[in-house]
């Protein structure tokens, strides 16, 4: 077979696989719409009972759809950062099923180029930008994309400086926020990794377990900004907040009520392979690393922060 014919064959195969992938996505969305219509007939409480996975990592798609039935959204616009290649994300179902528009940011040029090459990128109003996010550049990145003021959803998942970046954002006022928390930091104290503009989860500790902030820290920060914590997912990593002026009849819960231990085991050994460490072992691995008490500003070890009073 000549090189030209071989390349044409490969191109045809790639096109066929892309069409098949699009057909699968369409079926996923159609089945999700059927399930969502059925769920509308059921009372939802706690929030995690609304879970449904389409493109989200766990059940966040269903939770957001439930919240959007109760929260009046000023603009059907989202901002999500830390999206990897957007295969799993909290906003993609909103983009493809509900025709929202939005901005996604990731630190990998390869990931952003992949997103821009996908059919949903030209079919919908999506902007994908490549940037390593820190608290000094986040507002500029959002403004440069033409996003500002009241929007629908902000989703924060950067596996590192989440607390400090969220604290810095002042150019948008989302109706709903989704924030990843580190359940290993416990359900009592307001804790975060110390701010480092170049923080890398992989470099910070070989286990990949040292990152982010506790749910109480994010809940206290959100409360100061006028947001109510309304629940978390059953996987134990994402919390949901609603602006108090839009809360309506949704019940507010405490961090202790919303907190869930992580049900997944993503820790790694020194060889870089998954270690499947349970929660006690996972905490032990990072117990001597520093965390900031966000109430006092003091830096202590995680071990001392988690000690009973």
Report the interhelical angle of 3-39 vs 60-68 (nearest 10°).
Answer: 50
205-239: per-residue pLDDT in tens?
A: 999 999 999 999 999 999 999 999 999 999 999 99
In this structure, the number of other CB atoms found within 10 A of the CB of residue 16 comes to 10
Per-residue pLDDT at 203 exceeds 70:
yes
* Cis-peptide into 294, omega within 30 deg: no
Rounded to an integer, what is the distance from CA 70 to the centroid of its chain? 21
pTM of the full predicted structure? Answer: 0.90
CATH topology of domain 50-306: Rossmann fold (3.40.50)
Smallest CA-to-CA distance from 140 within 111, 100, 169 is with: 169
Domain boundaries, the chain: 50-306
pLDDT at residue 55 is higher than 60: yes
> Could you count the other beta carbons within 10 Å of the beta carbon of residue 270?
8
Terminal Cα distance for the chain, rounded: 75
Looking at residue 14, its pLDDT comes to 58
Dihedral (CA of 259, 260, 262, 264) sign: negative
Would you say residue 42 has pLDDT above 70? no
Per residue in 248-284, pLDDT (tens digit) is: 989 999 999 999 999 999 999 999 999 999 999 999 9
Q: 187-221 burial, b if ≥16 CB within 10 A, otherwise e? A: bbbbbbbebeeebebeebbbbbbbbbbbbbbbbbb
Confidence (pLDDT) at 13: 63
| Distance separating alpha carbons of residues 150 and 137, to the nearest angstrom | 20
Give the pLDDT band (50/70/90) at residue 110.
very high
**Nearest CA-CA partner of 120 in 80, 92, 154, 152:** 92
């Amino acid at each position: 077979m000549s090189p030209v014919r071989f390349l044409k064959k490969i191109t045809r195969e790639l096109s066929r696989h892309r069409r098949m992938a699009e057909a699968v996505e369409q079926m996923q969305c159609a089945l999700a719409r059927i399930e969502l219509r059925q769920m509308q007939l059921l009372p939802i409480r706690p929030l995690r009972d609304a879970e449904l996975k389409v493109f989200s990592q766990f059940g966040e798609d269903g939770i957001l759809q439930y919240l959007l039935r109760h929260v009046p959204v000023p603009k059907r616009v989202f901002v999500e950062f830390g999206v990897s290649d957007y295969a799993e994300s909290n906003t993609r179902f909103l983009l493809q099923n509900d025709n929202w528009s939005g901005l996604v940011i990731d630190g990998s040029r390869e990931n952003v180029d992949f997103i821009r090459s996908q059919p949903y990128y030209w079919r919908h109003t999506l902007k994908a930008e490549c940037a390593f996010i820190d608290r000094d550049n986040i507002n500029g990145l959002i403004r440069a994309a033409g996003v500002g003021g009241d929007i629908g959803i902000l989703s924060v998942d950067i596996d590192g400086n989440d607390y400090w970046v969220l604290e810095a954002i002042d150019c948008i006022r989302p109706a709903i926020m989704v924030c990843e928390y580190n359940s290993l930091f416990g359900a009592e104290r307001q804790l975060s990794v110390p701010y480092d503009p170049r923080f890398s989860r992989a470099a910070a500790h070989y286990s990949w377990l040292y990152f982010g902030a506790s749910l109480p820290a994010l809940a206290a920060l959100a409360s100061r900004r006028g947001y109510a914590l309304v629940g978390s997912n059953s996987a134990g990593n994402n919390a949901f907040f609603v602006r108090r002026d839009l809360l309506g009849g949704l019940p507010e819960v405490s961090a202790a009520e919303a907190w869930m231990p992580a049900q997944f085991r993503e820790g790694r050994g020194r060889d870089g392979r998954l270690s499947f460490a349970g929660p006690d072992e996972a905490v032990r691995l990072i117990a001597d690393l520093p965390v900031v008490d966000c109430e006092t500003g003091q830096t202590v070890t995680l071990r001392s922060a988690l000690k009973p009073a």
